[in-house]
Chains A and B, each alone.
Chain A
Amino acid sequence: MRKTYDFHGGIHPPENKHQSVRTPIADAGIPPQLTVPLSQHIGAPAHPVVSIGDHVLKGQVIAEARGFVSVPKHAPSSGSVIAIEDRLIAHPSGHLAPCIVIATDGKDEWLQRQIPPDYQALKKTELIDLIRNAGIAGMGGAGFPSSVKLSVKEGTHIETLIINGTECEPYITADDILMRERADQIIEGTKILRHIIAPQETLIGVENNKPEGLAALRAAAEGTGIEIVEFPTKYPSGGEKQLIEIITGKQVPSGGLPSQVGVVCQNLGSAVAIYEAVVLGHPLISRITTVTGESVREPQNFQVLIGTPMRYLLEKAGYEAQKNNRLIMGGPMMGFTVPDSDVPIVKTTNCLLAPTESELPTPPPAQACIRCGLCAEACPVSLLPQQMFWFAQSKELEKLEEHNLFDCIECGACSYACPSNIPLVQYYRASKAEIVHLQHEHEKSEHSRIRFEARQERLDQAADEKEAKRAARKQAAEARAQQADGGAEDPIQAAIERAQAKKAAQQASGASTVSELERLEQAVVTTRKRLDTASTKLDQATAEGSDLVSALQLGVDKTRAKLEVAEQALQEFQQTPTVAPVEDSPTNAAQAAIEKAMAARASEAALSPSEKAQVQLEKLQQRLQKSQDTLARSRENGEDEKVIEALEASVARLTEKISAAQDQRNAGENA
């Protein structure tokens, strides 16, 4: 027997399962009208592809999936579409939602069915598409599309595939009866899932309160490698996270997915639906629903078409409406009340519970919390419900989050255990909704704040630009006005600046390489040029009778004086014979030195090693001689002690080098 683990808390409510398993699964038949809601799953609603008046066949797609987390809808039976409109559906809020209403013709005519090829030959993605196109969404309760759960991210290592046959909610026997009657199909469906997921092990988890189902499953699983895991009955062991802990001992990280601990879970009902889709080519158009409670005379399980009105189904089981105090879809722990018995059965309707007042009495008014801690003992996720209740009452939402409110799975164990009848789960649900609402509000206000700030910035920027333009225009206008006032001053100034710039450029571009002579010649040329332009301008001005004549005259005179100075300098320079020729510029000298050194090295390279050593030795001896001379001189001159020390050190170093060179030369000769 496989080792199973226990999870914290949990409760043992009366099971009340025996009532509905006394008879085999009955066929509920075809109701006169089928109302197929477009959203029966978590995720985006499907999009209708039929119009009013269309004749549809059983299994025909009537609404297509929109988005990844979505599945298509199929006509559960043949008939004609009579309405596509908002109808009351089974939802905790009792709101209206778009539905396709089909008036059945009773022929139950199938669409030309395509039997898919052997699934072993299909690729993983093709199989997942097949499952998605069959409209299969988690049949346990939440209605999470099976295809999404099966699309495990590439590279995720899945150790364990768990088929959830726990069915821990009281009253519900839909999975139990499937195990008893269709164990083979469960195993076949499981094999398909195993083929897709390729886990190391495949397990079916069942509570030990279903001995007949367990026996049937074990018989069917013989030799398939699928292991049936039996564990003690406790609510809520059927919760996905709880089941994973029971079977593997691992906990799914908060906010994470089972695949993070190497587990994929699928509902047992989904396994059968997958078998039907992949092997028989049936889309999900019907399911097993338990109809039970003391308000029905014959509690039992039905094979019922999706979209069947609840009242139709209840009446098949002998519904006594006057005894019924509330109609619950799902179980007494997590099911929700429906507003009206006309709402349709959907893919997640595992149970219709019609209790009497004495069976599930109206809750009495809540008493004070005495902090007994029974709720904390019952909590399967180890929260402190009594503390959270306190914070929920005083609306300390931050404290609630600190106490991990969002890890609450709303199983209802705390409320069940509470001796003071405090509706704890209801408080948490409300608080969660409030926090989510506040987060939305916060995001919204954050959004508008950012938008407002961006707009403000834009406006400011526009204003700045406008201001800058205006300033520029103003400046331009002022400049123009000034030009009109004293036009000639500017051209002169400009000319001076041009000249200065030219000079600077000249200096920068290599004054060092240009000889003094060239520089002087250049100066003469430019000054002469300047004088020419100035004279031309002066002539022009004189001809026009401009009032600038005097100013220009002054400039011409100045330029002429400069020219004279320049010419004189040039003459003087040319007469001086000591000026070094251009070839002797320092760069050239350096070039020559480099060449000399290279030549020396080249000649050296031609020598034999011993000869090289000899040359080296001679050189060193010369250097030593020089150093010793310098040292002697320094001593005579009485130079600084440090200098003498340094010179002594260099002499010592050279002596060492010489002895090394001698050794080398000797070695070379010996060789």
Chain B
Amino acid sequence: MALLRITSPHAHGPMSTQRVMQNVLLATVPGIIVLTHFFGFGTLVNVLFGSIVALLCESLALLLRKRPVGFYLKDCSALVTAFLLCIALPPYAPWWLITIGIASSILLAKQLYGGLGYNPFNPAMAGYVILLISFPVQMTAWAPPRGMGELPGLLEAIKACFLPASFDGITMATPLDIMRQNTGLLMEDLWQQNPQFGRWGGVGWEWANIAFLAGGAWLLYQRIFTWHAPLAMLASLSLLAALFYDGGSSASGGSPLFHLLSGATMFGAFFIVTDPVTSAVSLRGRLIYGALIGVLIYVIRVRGSYPDAVAFAVLIMNFAAPFIDYYTQPRTYGHNKKPEAK
């Protein structure tokens, strides 16, 4: 047998892109379970149907681009996009909404830019924002959590997805919505008057956030990403919330704990902000990137006109990531100064 002639290094570490993606998928499971527990099977159906659509879209794009389909599908990145977008969608979303969202994510935000690694914007968030702007009603129709109405069963959930006309679901404002629209009530009263509020955040939401935090912590432990961006985001969000909490008056934007455990905070911090492709790469860069996302989330949540802000905040900072990278190059060994940005 002829000897191989290749250059060093000859050894390779155990990590692979496929494994990275599979770990991310696995880490979403606790969150999906909690969401299913509190809001019924809607999210699960979203995720399953979305995954199929995502794989189809990815295959189609790869075929059109004349790329080996199997090789690229194997990296599981399409599945990750589908999972993240479908978790963010309201449960019991109609099939066309999911399809449009996934197609936008995979085809527009990812493949049109050259596929995995070349997309400047987070595909899931790009798809989410396209849907939010195009179909605001469907996108803000959140089902009431367990205990505030009857939870539809699995069959009903499937029906809601594929025969949306026949599904007669009740929807309810999310706690973030109520908070944003609050004009005259003290926090304490707000909590008492609205059954959607739980111990710290919204009923169901707080547990979903804790579940995503757990998934994120596990990814961190697996060294899939570094702590910098998510922690910076959570820290800046908490800091702003604490600064403007003013003891819970009617003008308050909500307590830090409320913000940490509401909406997509934890999901965003550990599954969206950590998207390596679209975030800053140097460690200092990630700190800045994460912190600014936290600031934007707070500002848009409290002052903006959309109920949650993770998607917008992330997309805006996606723009800034290359710029941040440019100015945060680390100091190389044996150099006195950081590289001059020219």
List residues of A whose CB falls within 8 A of some B CB.
7-8, 11, 13-14, 92, 94, 170, 241, 245, 251-256, 321-322, 324-328, 330, 332-341, 353, 355, 360-363, 365, 367-374, 376-377, 380-384, 386-387, 402-404, 407, 410-413, 415-421, 423, 425-426, 429
In the complex, A223→B110 CA distance in Å? 67
Pairs of residues from A and B, 5 with the lowest C-beta to C-beta distance, nearest first: A412-B9, A368-B117, A326-B4, A381-B333, A254-B334
Nearest CB of A to B338, in Å = 10
Residue of B nearest to A380 (CB): B333
Query: Other CB < 8 Å A-B pairs besides A360-B10, A416-B13, 10 of them?
Result: A253-B336, A254-B332, A328-B10, A337-B6, A368-B17, A372-B276, A377-B226, A402-B340, A419-B19, A425-B9
Nearest CB of B to A123, in Å = 34
Q: How many A-B residue pairs have CB under 8 A?
A: 178
Interface flag for B64 (CB, 8 Å)? no
A380 CB contacts on chain B under 8 angstroms: 333
Contact of A241 among B9, B12, B333 (CB under 8 A): B333
Residue of A nearest to B12 (CB): A416
Q: Across the interface, do B8 and A334 meet the contact criterion of CB distance under 8 Å?
A: yes
Q: Across the interface, do A326 and B10 meet the contact criterion of CB distance under 8 Å?
A: yes
A326 CB contacts on chain B under 8 angstroms: 3-6, 10
In the complex, A368→B276 CA distance in Å? 12
Contact of A426 among B7, B13, B19 (CB under 8 A): B7
Q: Across the interface, do A373 and B9 meet the contact criterion of CB distance under 8 Å?
A: no
Residue of A nearest to B278 (CB): A371
Segment at the A interface, from B32-40, B201-209, B323-331: B323-331
A362 CB contacts on chain B under 8 angstroms: 4, 6
In the complex, A415→B3 CA distance in Å? 22
Residue of A nearest to B6 (CB): A337
Contact of A340 among B3, B115, B223 (CB under 8 A): B3
A382 CB contacts on chain B under 8 angstroms: 330-333
Interface flag for B132 (CB, 8 Å)? no
9 contacts between A and B (CB under 8 A): A321-B1, A326-B4, A335-B10, A373-B281, A381-B332, A403-B339, A407-B332, A415-B9, A425-B9
Q: Across the interface, do B7 and A92 meet the contact criterion of CB distance under 8 Å?
A: yes
B193 CB contacts on chain A under 8 angstroms: none
Residue of B nearest to A340 (CB): B3
Q: Across the interface, do A421 and B16 meet the contact criterion of CB distance under 8 Å?
A: yes
A412 CB contacts on chain B under 8 angstroms: 8-9, 11
Interface flag for B225 (CB, 8 Å)? yes
In the complex, A316→B216 CA distance in Å? 53
In the complex, A190→B94 CA distance in Å? 77
Interface flag for B15 (CB, 8 Å)? yes
B4 CB contacts on chain A under 8 angstroms: 325-326, 337, 362
In the complex, A361→B20 CA distance in Å? 20
Contact of B335 among A11, A254, A332 (CB under 8 A): A254
Chain A at the B interface: SS class: loop
Q: Across the interface, do B277 and A371 meet the contact criterion of CB distance under 8 Å?
A: yes
Q: Across the interface, do A371 and B3 meet the contact criterion of CB distance under 8 Å?
A: no
Q: Across the interface, do B17 and A370 meet the contact criterion of CB distance under 8 Å?
A: yes
Interface code B73-89, partner A: CB below 8 Å = 1, 0 otherwise?
00101000000000000
Interface flag for B96 (CB, 8 Å)? no
Q: Across the interface, do B281 and A384 meet the contact criterion of CB distance under 8 Å?
A: yes
Interface flag for B116 (CB, 8 Å)? yes
Q: Across the interface, do A332 and B1 meet the contact criterion of CB distance under 8 Å?
A: no
Given that A404-B335, A416-B13 are contacting pairs, would A336 and B8 also be in contact in the complex, using a CB cutoff of 8 Å? yes
In the complex, A170→B9 CA distance in Å? 11
A241 CB contacts on chain B under 8 angstroms: 333-334
In the complex, A334→B8 CA distance in Å? 5
Interface code B113-134, partner A: CB below 8 Å = 1, 0 otherwise?
0011110000000000000000
Q: Across the interface, do B20 and A370 meet the contact criterion of CB distance under 8 Å?
A: yes
Q: Across the interface, do B8 and A333 meet the contact criterion of CB distance under 8 Å?
A: yes
Q: Across the interface, do A421 and B332 meet the contact criterion of CB distance under 8 Å?
A: no
Q: Across the interface, do B339 and A407 meet the contact criterion of CB distance under 8 Å?
A: no
Contact of A367 among B10, B12, B17 (CB under 8 A): B17
Interface flag for B282 (CB, 8 Å)? yes
Q: Across the interface, do A417 and B11 meet the contact criterion of CB distance under 8 Å?
A: no
Q: Across the interface, do B116 and A370 meet the contact criterion of CB distance under 8 Å?
A: yes
Interface flag for B199 (CB, 8 Å)? no
In the complex, A282→B168 CA distance in Å? 94
Nearest CB of A to B123, in Å = 12
In the complex, A380→B224 CA distance in Å? 19
Interface flag for B66 (CB, 8 Å)? no
In the complex, A339→B116 CA distance in Å? 37
